[in-house]
Structure 1
């Protein structure tokens, strides 16, 4: 595979693949079964706080 062919493939299907991967990761984060884990992760920075 030449550089030009690889570059054309990456410019077309590579972008599609990255878009599908991004949508999958975002969708995975918003699944209902991940709600408790996401909430715990969001509140982790306040664990050792003296203000609350």
Structure 2
């Protein structure tokens, strides 16, 4: 069997299964119950200085 045909057969069967399992694993990891606090903190980074503007760093130079 030539190399191309062997690799093509591998990619069509086992690699597809592996990539699907990785996709499902990432989905389960992203929606796990313990991860919501870390994701909430990361999502709120742009709003940390919402009550007052961030200090202007260029004015101090």
Give the TM-score band, short-chain normalised. Answer: 0.7 to 0.9
Q: Which has the higher contact order (CA 8 A, sep 6+)?
A: 1
2:9 pairs with 1:16: no
TM-score (norm 1): 0.76
Q: How many residues align structurally? A: 51
The two structures, once aligned, show a CA RMSD in angstroms of: 2.0
Which has more helix, going by share of residues? 1
Query: How big is each residue's C-alpha offset from its partner over 1:31-52, in whole Å with a ceiling of 9 and x where there is no partner?
Result: 111110111122223334568x
Q: Which runs of 5+ in 2 are unaligned?
A: 53-61
Q: Which runs of 5+ in 1 are unaligned?
A: none
CA distance in 1, matches of 2:6, 2:46: 47
CA distance in 1, matches of 2:7, 2:51: 55
